[in-house]
Chains A and B, each alone.
Chain A
């Protein structure tokens, strides 16, 4: 059994020095071949929002998985409110008042909010047979009111927006009376306005004496919401700094470990002829009904056009319609003056469309197939990858070695299954393959989602380079920072329709955010 503080509320009585709410010291965790955490630690006081900042692979997730009892550290100690604890399982961490809000929600779609909250309550397990839904609903509503987490406890999860689902996750933690909340990349799925609302909630939770551990690699929000920031790099502690004194730039340099270029803003490009012309394009979603409802857009050679929008507003369906994966039910898609057969990916590829899907591993890449084969995923039909029906394996391997080198892909070799690569390297494999097909037009769906700063920089650089070489680029993204650094023109998509379009020079973040949210301010709900 873990040792737990008997009464958490007695801390700091009689003017005794307050023990930090969480203190992780000298944590080391090794996995075969890697040291994920090497003598890492941080302290967070009650009432503090403490950010863990670092690139992907810096060791943030490992550290938070240790704090939530999922992993056991090889070395090091965890103290909660001054008492040393040892977690043998996630349940021990829950019992110690530590809850995590995962980036990918753990909710049952067909259950109501209250039911999901009850489901997360391990204390009930094996005790109560009857679900006291009324009482749970009342408590959920109460908590929601107190912390600005408005959701109808009786609503089903599938009826809720992503932002509301996140509130349910937080409510689950609060219902368990978590004193320490870990949030993993909580804003990845939110609009700027929704993120603001979340930050308000976090501040209130902290004011209430709770401790928030906020994991992110977005510098602005780390600075906006946290009191202190612990920066991790390559599994080690780099620094803990006061958020008030840090600048996004200084944080970025700590995180990356080197000076950063001032973005990769290239010289304004000459826009060429129209390479992609969408006219009143409609396409169905996976569920019943249209997901893309009459989109008209044009992309010129050498131009980057961004489609901004919160995930799930028809971006994927639009991208798939252009790439021929999903048939457009109405309207026309013209690529460099020609109309490839609708719903035929091969025709789209032949017409010069490259597509970087949001779902890298599974759509863009076949996970268990070798890197070399994944490089040949679109070119295996022609020489040099094959002659007649036969594959030329040696040529495929040589080509893979060349691309691995040219795109600086960290890979053990061309024959390993591609799924063993990290997110940034996976994306480089996709980009390398797509660019090597000499496309006229590139459609990219959230190409930097989940990547670390270093990988984001190189993805941005590759997109710029391609645009400079005359490729038209359609960028579907929900990251406004990215859109503002990359795009020449910005269109906003909401519920399958283009809600507005502007040149970057005239772009106004606040206004774009509003359009992304359907023209309504989410703070008013």
Chain B
């Protein structure tokens, strides 16, 4: 089970090394710098957690749905909607004092509900009209993005800051009140690492998801449905309900990721075109889920590693370390992981015959 991903990682390591060499970098020292910047430098772990937490949420959201072969790639939009609803709850219930459990709980509930509702749109379309979830959920990402922009830039919405000098110059969103800002626990090692509350929620969600899928009737039905819809129907499982439920769970987790963005990191509804919408957490989450083979606990680990890579990329980018390089490395890792999966099932065979064009490149063994 572990051999193939491990071998894929080793392959990715070498392939990326070639890319580094080709771009005029010393591969080994570049890796060293990446690793230091991701995990070892002062403050690196904390920054890595900032990148990893949203990836854990969107990764879990994707894993939850993909396990039942519901290809919800709408994590991006569900996260936006969760951020919008959670910000509303934070603005409405938050007071000026210290962090309030009530305000935070309200944000969590609102974020989950918002994400779930958004995911239910493709869910309902799939369950009752058999539309393709990939297309509908993807399209709704754009809708959610435009909605987010509209709320702050094109309307006098509840989320928009309308008072003050800055607000009259440039559209901004309201800052969350203090009690709606999520507290972080600080671990006193290596100069202090801040553990965001959202990271705790992600670990909790992963645990619950794992129990749900491996220990409950619900998970049993989802596994059967993901494997064979006909067998599920034969066994009398309620297919439509299950689709709705799984989409709602998936959306809720992504929405919670949005709430965590508000409460943990941005402390406002971030509609900046170069802010939240440039991070593509929802899409990266799909990569995380795929690398983790849709196992919720593995999602946490992969999110941490990919988060570290992204954090290192942000830290190191500059003249001698182009920012695109980290994206290239990330792509190579995904490519080799998926390629490794494929090679488990296929065997490449070189044909000796000279008549080209007729030989299949790979044959099923």
Contacts and interface: CB of A to CB of B under 8 A. Distances in A.
Interface string A214-255: 000000000000000000000000000000000000000000
A409 B218 CA distance: 28
A369 B224 contact: yes
A366 B220 CA distance: 11
Given A89-B353, A366-B227, A366-B231, A378 B236 contact: yes
A389 B218 contact: yes
Contact of B223 (A88, A373, A378, A381): A373
B128 interface: no
B130 interface: no
B210 to A, nearest CB: 13
A367 interface: yes
Interface stretch (A35-43, A193-201, A305-313, A343-351): A343-351
A377 B217 contact: no
A282 interface: no
Contact of A88 (B218, B228, B235, B352): B352
Nearest to A382: B217
Given A126-B357, A380-B217, A391-B216, A366 B224 contact: yes
A258 to B, nearest CB: 35
Interface stretch (A151-159, A354-362, A486-494): A354-362
A76 to B, nearest CB: 20
Contact of A355 (B216, B228, B234, B353): B234
Contacts of B224: 366, 369, 373, 377
Interface in B207-259: 215-221, 223-224, 227-228, 230-236
A209 B169 CA distance: 95
Contacts, number: 76
B29 interface: no
A368 interface: yes
Nearest to B231: A366
A367 B223 CA distance: 11
Interface residues of B, number: 24
A3 B320 CA distance: 61
A368 B234 CA distance: 16
Contacts of A182: none
B217 A389 contact: yes
A421 interface: no
A35 B216 CA distance: 41
B236 A344 contact: yes
A362 B215 CA distance: 23
Contacts of B357: 126
B215 A393 contact: yes
A364 interface: yes
Contacts of A89: 351, 353, 359
Contacts of B233: 325, 345
Contact of A364 (B216, B220, B231): B231
B232 to A, nearest CB: 7
Nearest to A348: B236
Contacts of B220: 373, 376, 380, 391
Nearest to B230: A363
Nearest to A378: B235
A91 B355 CA distance: 12
B228 A363 contact: yes
Interface residues of A, number: 36
Contact of B358 (A91, A359, A377, A380): A91
A349 to B, nearest CB: 5
Contacts of A378: 235-236
Contacts of B231: 362-366, 377
Interface string A310-334: 0000000000000111000000000
A7 interface: no
Contacts of A349: 236
A88 B353 contact: yes
Nearest to B233: A325
Given A325-B234, A378-B235, A367 B217 contact: no
Contacts of B353: 1, 88-89
A125 interface: yes
B217 A381 contact: yes
Nearest to B220: A380
A222 B223 CA distance: 44
A164 B67 CA distance: 42
A373 B226 CA distance: 14
B352 A369 contact: no
A65 interface: no
Nearest to A388: B217
Q: Which of B230, B351, B352 has the most CB of A within 10 A?
A: B230
Interface string B286-303: 000000000000000000
A141 to B, nearest CB: 30
Closest 8 CB pairs between A and B? A346-B236, A345-B236, A366-B231, A366-B227, A363-B230, A377-B235, A366-B228, A366-B224
18 contacts: A1-B353, A89-B351, A89-B353, A126-B358, A349-B236, A359-B230, A362-B230, A363-B231, A364-B234, A366-B223, A366-B224, A366-B227, A366-B228, A369-B224, A377-B234, A378-B236, A386-B217, A390-B217
Given A364-B234, A377-B224, A389-B217, 7 more contacts: A126-B357, A363-B231, A364-B231, A367-B227, A369-B227, A378-B235, A389-B216
Interface of B: 215-221, 223-224, 227-228, 230-236, 351-353, 357-359
